[in-house]
Structure formats: structure tokens, C-alpha cells
């Protein structure tokens, strides 16, 4: 999608601090971090939101990628939160499915 900020990051038109990349997913640090460790994992294919997701393997790959990065960056043992927002009432602000991984502090519940 031409005007999608995440698609522009995938194409390299917008810089990002890349943590991981393969043929199907990209992970990068969130520029508006809400925790000491905060990154996003996105599919390279433009999928607007969780309601439009149909590829179970891809959805699992997002979670596994986040877990692997958490292990690599040594915060998996203390814990982290994975969040996927869907549409405006769910808090989604970019219409390209993305998984947030937040860590480095105690998470509270309920989240908001």
C-alpha cells in the first residue's frame, strides 16, 4: 500500500532500527516506545488488521519472532507483553497488522 508507513519502512523509504528481517516478517524498534524495550513485528505483506488475517502460519511467525528477539536481547526470563490492537476502538493507529513487544519494566493490569 503506497501511503502505509510500515510498507514504506519495509521498502526502505523510511529508516527504522531493524532487529530482525526474513522473507515474510520485519521487526524494528518502536519510535514511540512505551517501555524500555518496545519493538514491533510486522508481516511484509500488507494486511490491514487482525480481522483480515487468514494465514495462521504467518500469525504464528509474528509471535515466534517476538519471542526469539526477547531471548536474544535477554529480557525473556523477566517477562514481556505481546499486544496486537485491532481497529480504532482497540487502539490500532496504523492500518497494517503489527505485534507490539514491550519489556524492561513491570507491566500493569488492566492495561487500559
Check if 98 is active-site: yes
8 vs 100: CA distance, rounded Å: 18
pLDDT at 112 exceeding the cut of 70: no
Instruction: Read off the pLDDT of residues 34-77 as tens digits, 9 standing for 90 and up.
Output: 999 999 999 999 999 999 999 999 999 999 999 999 999 999 99
68 vs 100: CA distance, rounded Å: 14
Among 41, 36, 50, 33, CA closest to 78: 36
CB 21 within 8 Å of CB 41 = no
83-to-1, 10, 15, 102 alpha-carbon distances in Å: 23, 21, 23, 8
C-alpha cell at 40: 514491533
Catalytic residue among 38, 46, 73, 98: 98
pLDDT of 73: 97
Q: Where are the domains of the chain?
A: 5-103
The reported pTM is: 0.95
Which CATH fold topology does 5-103 show?
Answer: HIT family, subunit A (3.30.428)
Amino acid at each position: 500500500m503506497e501511503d502505509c508507513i510500515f510498507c514504506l519502512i519495509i521498502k526502505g523509504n523510511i529508516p527504522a532500527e531493524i532487529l530482525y528481517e526474513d522473507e515474510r516478517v520485519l521487526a524494528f524498534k518502536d519510535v514511540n516506545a512505551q517501555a524500555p524495550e518496545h519493538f514491533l513485528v510486522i508481516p511484509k505483506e500488507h494486511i490491514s488488521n487482525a480481522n483480515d488475517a487468514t494465514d495462521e502460519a504467518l500469525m504464528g511467525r509474528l509471535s515466534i519472532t517476538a519471542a526469539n528477539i526477547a531471548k536474544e536481547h535477554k529480557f525473556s526470563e523477566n517477562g514481556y507483553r505481546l499486544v496486537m490492537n485491532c481497529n480504532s476502538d482497540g487502539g490500532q493507529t496504523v492500518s497494517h497488522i503489527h505485534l507490539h513487544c514491550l519489556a524492561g519494566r513491570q507491566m500493569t493490569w488492566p492495561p487500559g
